[in-house]
Structure formats: C-alpha cells, structure tokens
A and B are shown apart, each in its own frame.
Chain A
Amino acid sequence: MEWFDALVQGILLGGMYAQYALGMALMFGVMRIVNISHGDLVILLSLIGISIATAWGLGPLPVLIVLVPLAVLMGWVLQKAVLNRVVGSDPLPSLIATFGLSIALQNLMLQIWSANSRSLPGHGIESQSIEIGGIYIGLLPLIVLAVATGLTWGLDLTLKRTRFGRALRAASADVEAAAMTGINPRAVYAMATAAAVGILGFAAVFQALRSTVAPADGPAQLIYAFEAVIIGGMGTVWGAFAGSMVLGISQAIGFRIDPGFGVLAGHIVFLVVLATRPQGLFGKALS
C-alpha cells in the first residue's frame, strides 16, 4: 500500500513537471532551441503572482487569469528581443544568450524578492483532500494533474488540427521549405514561444500553491523539464507528458526509499533511459 501510495503521489508530481516540460518540448521541436532561463521564468511568474495576490488580495484563480496573459506577453517579447537573433543551426548563441538571461533573472529576483521562500495563499484549497480506496489524494495535486492533461491535450490538438499547428509542424520539419509556402518563420516562432511561456503561467501558479518558491529554484525546474522531455522522447507532446509521469514516479519512489535519494533517483532513471533507449520511451528510433 505504501508503494502504491508513492506511485499515486508520483503521478500527481508528474502533473506538475508536465506543465514545465510541454513548453520546452514545443520550443525545441520548433526552433531546436533550449531556453536555459525556462525554470527562472516559472519562478519569476510565481513571484509576480504572489506579489499580485498579496497586494490586491486576490485568490488563486484571478491570479491565474492575470498571470497567463502576462506570461504569453513575456514569451513574445523574449522571442522578439532575444531568441529571433540567435535561432539557427549553431546551438551556441542561443545557449549562451539564455544562460546569461538566466543568471541576470535569478539575481534580479534575488534583489527584488530577497532569498526567502514564499508561497501563494490558496485559501484552504491546498489542504483539502479526498479519500479513494484508503489513499488520501490532495485536491490541489489532482487539479494540477487535470490541468496538465488538459494542456497536453489542447496543445496536441492545436498542433494537429489548426492552421497555426500546421505552420508550426512545417517550420519544425524544414524551415526554408515552410517559408517558401508562405509561412513567416519568425511569426511562427514568436507564437510558439508565447504559447510555451504561456503554459509556464499555469505552472507558476500551481508551483507557488503546492510548495514554496525562491529565486534560486529555477535551474532545478529546468532540469526536471529537460529530463521529462528526454525520458518521454523528443518531438511528441504526449511523450513529454508521459516522461513527466515517469520522472515524478521515480522521484516519489526514491523519496520513499530515502529522503536524500529522491531527486537523485530521477536523475538515475534519466541516465538509464539515455543509456538504453536514447530516443526516449515513446520516441521513434532514428533510422
């Protein structure tokens, strides 16, 4: 029963990681860029959300409604001001640019919000739970998982069914051929990053609700997102979702074995997947 409980908690934790991983999978799939400040953006949005909530006395839902459009705007500005200048076949410029941005953001947040851990007051939602077959499941983690599933489903449908999704897929397959058919790659890129960071707006609210956030927490979130994407298999939205579940379960079981082993267990599962199935659990093998 104890291990079944760890499994359930792992799946719920995976819901949190899926919200980080979706944006990373989307940006890498379309631009072959990894934004090193990915995790720092989550923390920045969380801290802004917490400040808004305390200043105006807002509950979690109004904060979410304010934060997601703000996140979309941030993503769009990030693409226009920084990423459009560094996108290309050489991975170095984009890595260095976002690495510098990450250092600057972390320290800027440290100055504005100090090193203290903060969390978003949830007005009771964070302590409610429901009992299913002898296991108590927190209401908030369940909402997180449901939202993550909804976001994955929505993103998958957008990619498959809409004009924007077709443009994205075309640009990721061959950007020059896509440009010849009348797609403006820069506009597509800007929308992709806006969507990716927009999803981080959801992640920011839930992260601040279910635990605490501090300015130095960003890199850990970046690494979890990355591991989820690689475990699941690059290039598929549902792969990133499944990878998040595997990572969450690994960490939850690791924590049950020894509290010092939880995060390490996630890293080890990532390395084992990389050694035995480099295309990811759900990715297609390269021919």
Chain B
Amino acid sequence: MSAIPYVATTEVPEVLVQRQTRSGRIAMTLAVLAMIGVAAMPWWASTGTIRSILVLCSYIAVAQMWNLLAGYAGLVSVGQHAFMGAAGYALFVLAQTYGINPFVAVFLSLLVPAALAVPIYLLLHRLDGPYFSIGTWVVAEVFRLTASNLPLVNSGAGMSLRVMKDYSAFERNVAMSLLCAGMLLVTLGGSYWLLRSRFGLALIAMRDNPGAAASQGVNVVKLRFLIYVASAVGCGLAGAIYFMAQLRITPGSAFDPMWANVAIFIVMVGGIGSIEGVLIGSLIFFIADRWFGEYGATYFVVLGLMTLLVALYARTGIWGLITKRWDAPWFPIRRKLVDPNR
C-alpha cells in the first residue's frame, strides 16, 4: 500500500509514487482499532453507551455522505433525510409487516433509497445550483406527507418494531455493534477507498473545477449521478440502523430536517471535502449535543451562527486551519512523487 513503482520509460528518471505517509499509517492503525472496538462493544460497553456510540456513528455516516455530495460532486442537498426515512420505513415494513428477519431486512431496505434516488436525481438535476438544494427539501417533504397518508406504513401514527422483542438484549447489542462497525466501514472506509482510486482523482478534479475536469475526460454528469445514488444508499443505511435502534418511526421523526442541520454543521465546521473534517465535526457536534443540548433554542442559535460564520470567514473549517499549519493527513489521498536515489 505504501509505494507503487512507477512504470519508467527510458528518459524519465525512476521515481516512486508515494501514497501513504507516517501520519496516515498511525491514523489507519487507530481507525482499525476503533472499528474493532465498536464491533466489540457488547463485551465492554453498557447498552446506554452502545446507543450513544450508535448515534455518533450515524452522525459520521450521514455527514460523510453529505460531504461526498457537497464537497466533491458540488451537489448541495438539504434533503438527504428523505432517504434515511425511506430506508427506515422500508425496514419497519419488511420486518414488522412481512416478518422478514430484521437483520436481513436492514440490507434489503437499502434497495428503496437506491430505487428512489434514480428518478429523483433525474428530476432534480434540471434545477440550477441553489434551486437544486430546495428541490431536495421538497422531495423530503413529499416523502413525509406521503408517509402521513399511506396506510401501508400506518399513516401519521407511525410504526413500532415489535419483532425486536424476540431477541435478547445481548443479541440486539451484538447486532447493533456489528451494524455500527459495518456502517463506518462502508461510509468512511468506502469513501476513503473511492478517493484513493481512479474515481477519486476524477472526483477531486471535479471538486476543484467541474469544467476543467470535464475537459480532461471526466464524465461529470455520470459521476454526479453515481455519487447522488451512493449517498442516498449510505444515508439509507444510517437511517435503517438508527431507526432499528429507536424501535419506533413516525413521519415526523423519519423525515426530520434536523439531519440536514447535523450534516451541514458537522461538515462545514469540521472541514468540507475531507474525511478528517467529518470526524472532527462529528465529535464536536456529538459532545456539544450532550453538554449543551439542554439549553434548547439558545444552543441552536449558537449552532446556526457558527455555521453562518464558517461560511463567511473560514470555508475550509477546522481541518482546513490545521492543514495550513501541519501537513499530516490522517487519510492521505494525494499521490506524491519521490526520487528513491536521493
């Protein structure tokens, strides 16, 4: 993983493409350890702690999916909670109404956001820049109002996941922990893998300048579409797991615009266009929510003003300020040429 030999031609000096750094190796080790720690939660954490970590993992997953959309594809969505709620509802219908094993249904439910994201993107991509954002919001509202009127999902009264009582508390904790670890692996690990691949180069080119990227042969239209669908599925996974832990879903909770606030705050304050920023932002939001959540409205006024100030004065967020000073990425995605003879 560390060094890929460059295919040297006769006149070019032999160089190595360095793709990993020391800080990257340390961070990767810590990330793997953290992932194992999350998966092993039933053996060291209480049920309350597992629930808190699950919420944190959901924040990270949703924020990273929003980051992929806004930070790389240039698609600013304020309606990703549409897909969280859709997958959550799909899980409840499959497990509760049709009696499918809920731990299998989590994965089956991902088909719903994937299938919905395709026509939605085809509709919304016609909207120009900022109008696209409000279009995504309208779609989330349509989902909420549809769920409120749909007898299949018990209309406005919502549903409960009573089948979970067939499993012991320990079994549920094991499943939740494994699902959390899986969610992190898919959303964070998947993004990291994507950004280090050829697609990653295209994505970063697209982030920096879509027009220039297109002129270099990047299929911007197709890539945006794929990222939108991938982000919908990622948000769906977070939604399915989150609502499985909640055991209850209503139109209001499933399609709660609060998730848009969470994702935007985390990514903008942490640092847009980087995985490190998502981790920093998620931790800050998680801790702030525990400490200051009781202040209710005042807390949200501060949160809103911080988002405003970041957009005005520090668009790269905390991670942007850190990278200005120290060049030590946790998840390096750059390709650096080094001369082995020097």
Contact = CB atoms under 8 A, between A and B. Distances in A.
B312 interface: yes
Interface string B127-147: 111110111011001100110
Interface in A86-117: 86, 91-97, 99-108, 110-111
Contacts of B126: 274, 278
A108 B301 CA distance: 6
A34 interface: yes
Contact of B300 (A107, A234, A260): A107
A226 interface: yes
Instruction: Give the interface size class of chain B.
Output: 35 or more
Nearest to B302: A104
A267 B261 contact: no
Interface in A50-69: none
B194 interface: no
A104 B308 contact: yes
B2 interface: no
A96 B267 CA distance: 11
B37 interface: no
A64 B169 CA distance: 61
Interface string B82-93: 000000000000
Contact of A91 (B129, B257, B305, B309): B129
Contacts of B237: none
B130 A86 contact: no
A103 B261 contact: yes
Contacts of A219: 137, 257
B297 A268 contact: no
Given A223-B138, A264-B142, A267-B141, A95 B303 contact: no
A110 B297 contact: yes
B323 interface: no
Instruction: Give the interface size class of chain A.
Output: 35 or more
A191 interface: no
Given A92-B70, A271-B142, A102 B304 contact: yes
Contacts of B177: none
Contacts of B130: 28, 32-34, 91, 94-95
B310 interface: yes
B298 interface: yes
Given A108-B301, A223-B137, A260-B149, A234 B128 contact: yes
A275 B93 CA distance: 29
Contacts of B36: none
Contacts of A261: 149
A107 B146 CA distance: 27
A34 B134 contact: yes
A261 B129 CA distance: 29
Contacts of A209: none
B283 to A, nearest CB: 20
B123 A275 contact: yes
Contact of B145 (A108, A234, A264): A264
A166 B82 CA distance: 42
B297 A97 contact: no
Interface of B: 70, 74, 76, 78, 123-124, 126-131, 133-135, 137-138, 141-142, 145-146, 148-149, 257, 261, 264, 268, 272, 296-298, 300-301, 303-312, 315
Interface of A: 28, 32-34, 36, 82, 85-86, 91-97, 99-108, 110-111, 219, 222-223, 226-227, 230, 234, 258, 260-261, 263-264, 267-268, 270-271, 274-275, 278
Given A96-B264, A100-B306, A226-B138, 12 more contacts: A36-B133, A82-B312, A92-B70, A92-B74, A95-B133, A100-B264, A100-B311, A104-B305, A106-B304, A107-B301, A274-B126, A278-B127
